[in-house]
Amino acid sequence: MSICPLEFRYGSNEMRKVFDRDNMLRKMIDVEIALLKALEECGLADKTNYSDIAECSREISYEEVDRIEREIGHDIMAILEAIDRRCGSKSRYIHYGATSNDIIDTAWALTLREALSIVREKLVRLIERLKKIALEHRDTLMVGRTHGQHALPITLGFKAANYIYEFSRSLERVIEAEKRIVRGKMAGAVGTMAGWRGRGLCVEEKTLSHLGLEPHTIATQVAPRDGYAELVSIMAILGSQIERLALEIRELMRPEIAELSEGVGERVGSSTMPQKANPVQSEKISGLARVLRGMVVASLENIPLWHERDLSNSSSERIIIPHTMLLIDEIVGTMIRVLDGLKIFPDRMRANLESSRGHVLAEALMLKLTDKGINRQRAHSIVMRISRRAMELNRSLLEEALRDDEVRSILTEDELKKVFSYTDYLGNYRELIDRAVKYAESMIERSVGKSQ
């Protein structure tokens, strides 16, 4: 019976496989076998046939472990008991000197390495989609809005470049955070490595090298939980950034704006209103991002554990970590699909820009008056006065400026007409787009290099 929507509705099969219970169990057994190798290499265990241990434990299932755990009440001991039942005397040194979280935290590191690789790859794809839009629509005029009101002219390419920059910052955060998050912990009951009688550093180094992990510099019984809090926080930031783009699409899809649209195809918009074409994918992103942000508080609460550890973090992390990664996987994947089918309406963008009849160039007029020797504050007052009057009388700002005696005493008709050019008031938008794309490309190069 499936209860959680992450089991059947949200998240890719690729990410689900990472957090599949069989995969998680296999990761913990892999850690135990790597430790067994290290114990022999460091002179703490007799020679063992690792392949035999790996083989006899291969068929252990989570159902079997669950049955044992119900008997004895301890998850890691249940795994050890399952190995012992299947491997017998060969498993003599399994878990020697270790504590449960040596296995759990190191298995989490292996799992998160896989999960973060999926997130990075999808985030790169998302940035590439936006890069294509930014370059193809570098010069596509539209109105820039602040407070939901027309502000200044911009281009769709410039708007896309802002999202490229934000998502690239998250890609950088993921790359940088991995070196703090994806680390193994092999340090014994309170972190002093006492069970390995002075050879703990050897055991740590050998075990983790077999697994391709770096160790935490120091730990208690558990790896420091700030790493998981950082993981959840940066995923929540990324989810919120993507929600901002989703909200942008939702707003610009409104019929009275109609500048962008999800590619709805034959998708049903409403069970009762056949005309509806709703931004349901973008709305889904908004809903899931809210849940994702809710994970942050619990992950922060897991940092202050008692002394060398208590168990209050364990139950919540079983929920927080897989759900966080499956949620962000769904959010990123959905936005990729939205951008793949995104419809763009440049004519509507131009019409909306012109609908405010030149008022978006009020700043340009104010600065032109200032250039002519008028105090900047006085110029602001003049332009605000004629702008408000033009709106009341349903005139363009240029029309009202040409009628205003004070403005005409300062600027000629030709000078005024030159002020009201949308394409001449876009500033350094081209250079800024290029700068955002260059930064993104540098982050993509780092991410690809990390994957190789």
Which residues are paired to 150 by β-bridges? Answer: 145
How many angstroms from the chain centroid is the CA of residue 173? 9
Report the C-alpha gap between 153 and 432 in whole angstroms. Answer: 15
Amino acid in position 430:
R
Q: Which of 394, 395, 370 is nearest to 380 (CA)?
A: 370
Residue with tokens 């005139």: 395
Report the C-alpha gap between 338 and 262 in whole angstroms. Answer: 6
The tokens describing 91, both together, are: 């498993």
User: Is the alpha carbon torsion for 376, 379, 380, 381 positive or negative?
Assistant: positive
214-215 vs 183-184, strand pairing mode: parallel
To the query of whether residue 210 is one of the catalytic residues in this protein, the response is no
The tokens describing 233, both together, are: 């926080």
- Under 8 Å between Cβ of 137 and 437: no
Report the C-alpha gap between 81 and 350 in whole angstroms. Answer: 70
Per the residue annotation, which of 147, 307, 315, 409 is the catalytic one? 147
- Under 8 Å between Cβ of 420 and 357: no
The tokens describing 350, both together, are: 């131009």
Q: How many helices (H) and strands (E) does the chain have?
A: 18, 6
Rg (CA), the chain: 30
Reduce the DSSP state of residue 149 to 3 states and report it. Answer: strand
CA dihedral 400, 406, 411, 413 (to 10 degrees): 40
151: phi then psi, degrees, rounded to nearest 5: -120, -75
Report the C-alpha gap between 428 and 131 in whole angstroms. Answer: 18
- Under 8 Å between Cβ of 137 and 156: yes
Torsion-angle region of residue 188: left (phi > 0), alpha (psi -120 to 50) or beta? left
In this structure, the number of other CB atoms found within 10 A of the CB of residue 33 comes to 21
To the query of whether residue 147 is one of the catalytic residues in this protein, the response is yes
Residue 150 belongs to what H/E stretch?
strand 149-155
Per the residue annotation, which of 61, 270, 355, 381 is the catalytic one? 270
Q: Which residues are catalytic?
A: 147, 270
